[in-house]
Amino acid sequence: MAKASVVNRLAIIGIGLIGSSIARAARQHGLAGAIAIADASPEAVATASRLGLGDACGTDAATAVADADLVILCVPVGAMGQVGAAIAGALKPGAIVSDVGSVKGAVMAQLAPHLPGGVHLIPAHPVAGTENSGPEAGFATLFHNRWCIVTPPEGASQQAVDALCAFWAGMGANVETMSAERHDLVLAVTSHLPHLIAYNIVGTAADLEQVTRSEVIKFSAGGFRDFTRIAASDPTMWRDIFLNNKDAVLEMIGRFNEDLAALARAIRWGDGDALFELFTRTRAIRRGIIDSGQETAEPDFGRRHEDDATA
């Protein structure tokens, strides 16, 4: 593992699940000399202050980033440009500006025009989270043994890239670099399409509930419970993800519809061999995810974790 990157001042803009988890993890692992936090919500700022998540907490993003070595934007993808414009004049030369968004191409396009020369834009995406949100939802071990994908633009400072990678590794993440374009396609398959399906299935069930007098909800089995967990994610965040990664998502929806049509044909024509082959292949993928340490076999609905909110 790379040596942990220790920054003199870390600024976190947006103190929800991911932002508060970064604050906790950075504090626990000694990765920042000081932590400044900003959030547009006075209530979130008050909660972050009460929890001791930062050395300075306020609603002004420009104040938070002043003299920061590393700035991490933990705001919805659609707000990146607005925040970038707000902090641009307060960034010091040599500062690294990063983010945690699930879309990378759109983040680069929104932020790059605002950032002054001498500031390093190195986007990143920790592939970790829960369905909960807000400052109190974070925990220091959220990133442990989870992947963080770093997507440096062409010509980025290798020193800045290495520093950001080391920072995430210091919080326990497995770090990989790739292009923004590849990231957006990969995440469309592994995250965005599953969320879209979950939202759709739960919405369909909600409609059916009106005619089945609550039986759909009352007798929901494990599979439906998992879908409702995914569909409970932050609606603002996911609205912005789909709108900002629409090309890759639409491509995956097209492929999914083709595969779904093939599955429907197998069921219609009683092709048991085709169904068995598909289910065997997908079962092996699930086992591979467990074997890689990205999930456990326990039916831990609700994703319980140790109570380390003060870590």
Same domain, yes or no, for 277 and 202? yes
Establish if 300 belongs to a structural domain: no
> Residue 19 CB: number of other CB atoms within 10 A?
26
Shared domain check, 227 and 175: no
Q: For position 3, what pLDDT does the model report?
A: 53
Per the structure block, which two tokens stand in for 240? 């912005």
| pTM score of the predicted model | 0.80
Using DSSP, state whether 298 is helix, strand or coil: coil
Per the CB < 8 A criterion, the answer to whether 122 and 156 are in contact is yes
Q: What is the CATH number of the domain that holds 266?
A: 1.10.3660.10
pLDDT at 311 over 60: no
Whether residue 133 is found in the same domain as residue 270:
no
297 part of a folded domain: no
d(CA 75, CA 84): 11
Domain termination site, one of 179, 194, 210: 179
Rounded distance, CA 240 to CA 99, Å?
14
pLDDT in tens, 87-104: 999 999 999 999 999 999
Domain-embedded: residue 19: yes
Same domain, 227 and 281: yes
> Measured between alpha carbons, how far is residue 256 from residues 141, 248, 271, 286 in Å?
34, 12, 19, 18
Are both 44 and 29 inside the same structural domain? yes
In a domain, 1, yes or no: no
DSSP, residue by residue, 14-54: --SHHHHHHHHHHHHTT-EEEEEEE-S-HHHHHHHHHHT--
Query: What range does the domain containing 36 cover?
Result: 7-179
Same domain, 26 and 158: yes
Residue 86 shares a structural domain with residue 231 = no
Q: Is there a domain that residue 298 lies in? A: no
Supply the CATH number for residue 143's domain: 3.40.50.720
Pair (103, 227) in one structural domain: no
Domain count, the chain: 2
Shared domain check, 206 and 173: no
pLDDT digits (tens, 9 = 90+) for 9-58: 999 999 999 999 999 999 999 999 999 999 999 999 999 999 999 999 99
